[in-house]
Copies of this chain bind each other. A is one copy, B any other.
């Protein structure tokens, strides 16, 4: 097991995006600052998508200008296309990392961004050098990397081919998303072992969903293969759960709890993270479903029983 991993908290983008009720900009800013205070050094906080597509994220500029986080916290924005990148770059001093994305499966890509994979890839290959040229870090995510709800099996060779092209285009980090929670630990170990051989010297990030309860098992499988970069969402927010009511992203508090218990340092203070998760639960006005939020952290002092009784 590695001594330390990086966890990127994606709730303020991937989580909030799924919320039907408007979250006030000030609350977004406060929660992002809570998450930075909990110890996350990587936060995905905004998206430059068209506001008629995702109105919830139309305050990206206000959020980016409003947050006050320590200098070593890397803020990331998502851009869906070259137009979004153009707008984002007008505010390039407010963030550090841009994530661009493509689906490994043709049908998912068309349903998600209304164009073929080849067209998305070509655009990403144009965008990556622009992002790097602006002095920013460039991440790319391959969605449906472990299976597609529309096409079923996704060939790992196709995923790695896309990833190699994005690495050649200059990306600093490549993420692989189990977009609808189809991955299993054997598949994950095998995939990341091959990915680490194929893509040496580039950071590989695992993004799992807990749709079928296997999210943390997949995270351990990725760790076993040598992955040390993960993404998760506080309060188990987001991840476009399919069907509605299912689980989407793995919960940051569940991932942090497990890793710290395993002796793998995350840099995140679990109590402070739970404070942020409780704050967003209060704000959203519904019970959130992450396990550690409900059950509390493991207490090896024997005090857990008193606390919960």
Residues of A within 8 A of B (CB): 1, 107, 147-153, 180-182, 184-187, 210-217, 219-221, 241-243, 245-247, 250-251, 254, 257-258, 261-263, 290-292, 294-305, 308-309
Contact B305–A212 (Cβ < 8 Å): no
Chain B residues with CB under 8 Å of A302's CB are 107, 148-152
Chain B residues with CB under 8 Å of A247's CB are 291, 294-295
Write the nearest CB–CB distance from A28 to chain B, whole angstroms. 26
Contact A300–B152 (Cβ < 8 Å): yes
CA distance in complex: A298, B146 (Å) = 11
Write the nearest CB–CB distance from A114 to chain B, whole angstroms. 17
Q: List 17 A-B contacts (CB under 8 A).
A: A1-B186, A147-B298, A150-B302, A150-B305, A151-B302, A153-B300, A184-B258, A212-B257, A212-B295, A213-B216, A213-B251, A213-B292, A220-B220, A242-B295, A243-B296, A246-B291, A247-B291
Chain B residues with CB under 8 Å of A251's CB are 213
CA distance in complex: A242, B151 (Å) = 41
> What is the copy number of this chain in the assembly?
2
Chain B residues with CB under 8 Å of A219's CB are 217
Write the nearest CB–CB distance from A270 to chain B, whole angstroms. 11
Contact B214–A214 (Cβ < 8 Å): no
Contact A212–B254 (Cβ < 8 Å): yes
Contact B299–A262 (Cβ < 8 Å): no
Interface on chain A toward B: helix, strand, loop, or mixed SS? loop
For the complex with contacts A212-B297, A242-B305, 16 further pairs of A-B residues with Cβ separation under 8 Å are A1-B186, A148-B302, A149-B305, A152-B300, A181-B295, A182-B300, A184-B258, A184-B261, A213-B216, A213-B251, A213-B291, A214-B258, A220-B221, A243-B296, A245-B294, A247-B294
Contact A291–B211 (Cβ < 8 Å): yes
Partner among B148, B292, B303, B308 whose Cβ is within 8 Å of the Cβ of A212: B292
Write the nearest CB–CB distance from A268 to chain B, whole angstroms. 15
Chain B residues with CB under 8 Å of A297's CB are 212
CA distance in complex: A263, B184 (Å) = 10
CA distance in complex: A255, B217 (Å) = 11
Chain B residues with CB under 8 Å of A147's CB are 298, 300
Q: With A300-B153, A302-B149 in contact, do A212 and B242 touch (Cβ < 8 Å)?
A: no
